[in-house]
Amino acid sequence: MKFTPTKLPGVILIEPDVFGDDRGFFLESYQKDKYVDGGVPLEFVQHNHSNSKKGVLRGLHSQLKNPQGKLMRAMRGEIFDVAVDIRKGSPTYGEWVSVVLSGDNFKQLYVPPNYAHGFCVLSEEADIEYKCTDFYDPESEISLQWNDPFLNIDWPIDNPVLSPRDQKALSFKELEKKFPSFV
């Protein structure tokens, strides 16, 4: 299993060992001791499954109270996955990283608490499973504009399908006063 830090502190690309033969394949999608050793220090309390069609963009989301770390994995299809550092005072504040996750490449992305996260679907359909380090708290959730010019994320999509909540998302500068401080 390979754990590769990204340019954002705590955001880690994970490439599991995949054992395949003519019957199919086997991989460990999570093993606590290996993940802790690889830099994913928190335990997970919630496991989610999302299905989306091509062109859907979900995010950029975070929670101000009970912030969630997320271990993202595309089970089927392909997504462009993004993490944004929203920790005021961090050396990488306002920066983002992206990775393509797919059912074929088996990669995972760990996004720590106090980062914003989002993804768009590149394939006809995608099933995404992700583990969370804290419970969903709709009262403290924030949604950043996916195409905020300050962030300047290089999304591989021009006119995504957005939820009503994401259509009303606020800009980075509008939400900035609510962001957590980097310690």
Angle at 45 between CA 153 and CA 53, to 5 degrees: 45
How many Å apart are CA 106 and CA 96, to the nearest integer? 22
Angle at 78 between CA 33 and CA 66, to 5 degrees: 50
- Active-site annotation holds for 130: yes
Q: What distances in angstroms separate CA 114 from CA 17, 106, 133, 150, 158, one per listed residue? A: 29, 25, 11, 18, 27
Q: Which of 35, 49, 61, 110 is catalytic?
A: 61
Q: Which of 35, 110, 115, 130 is catalytic?
A: 130
Going by C-alpha positions, the residue among 169, 112, 125 that lies closest to residue 146 is 169
Going by C-alpha positions, the residue among 134, 136, 143 that lies closest to residue 169 is 143
- Active-site annotation holds for 136: no
Contact 32, 109 (CB under 8 A): no
Active site residues: 61, 130
